């Protein structure tokens, strides 16, 4: 499990990337980090690679993106623009 602090935890955004660490998981991670930078959002970004923990979110595909406990996408690499929209809604 990789956990990375983004700036200081002011707003308390909790972002989880669910997946085994495949190339698409890594691309989603990069897109999330870029979206957070572009939207000036702060919080924790965590990569969840444990299959049981991934299953606890009820997702059947990876990568999956969870923002503040809500599953936002499953089985695809979301675009930076999509992620920014979700971050602003969180």
- pTM of the entire predicted model: 0.84
Of these residues, 18, 25, 32, 83, which one is catalytic? 25
Active-site residue flag, 25: yes
Per domain, the residue ranges of the chain are: 2-89
Active-site residue flag, 3: no
| pLDDT, mean of residues 19-37 | 96
Strands (DSSP E) contained in the chain are 2-6, 13-18, 43-48, 64-67, 70-74
Residue the block writes with tokens 């089985």: 75
Of these residues, 2, 22, 75, 81, which one is catalytic? 22
Residue 23 has pLDDT above 80, yes or no: yes
How many C-alpha atoms does 27 have within 13 Å on its Cβ side?
10
The architecture CATH gives domain 2-89 = 3-Layer(aba) Sandwich (3.40)
| pLDDT, mean of residues 61-79 | 96
């Amino acid at each position: 499990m990789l956990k990375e602090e983004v700036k200081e935890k002011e707003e308390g955004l909790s972002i989880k990337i669910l997946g085994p660490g495949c190339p698409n998981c890594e691309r989603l991670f990069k897109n999330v980090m870029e979206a957070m930078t572009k939207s000036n959002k702060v919080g924790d970004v965590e990569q969840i690679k444990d299959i049981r923990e991934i299953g606890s979110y009820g997702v059947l595909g990876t990568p999956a993106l969870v923002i503040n406990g809500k599953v936002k996408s499953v089985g695809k690499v979301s675009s930076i623009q999509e992620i920014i929209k979700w971050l602003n809604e969180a």
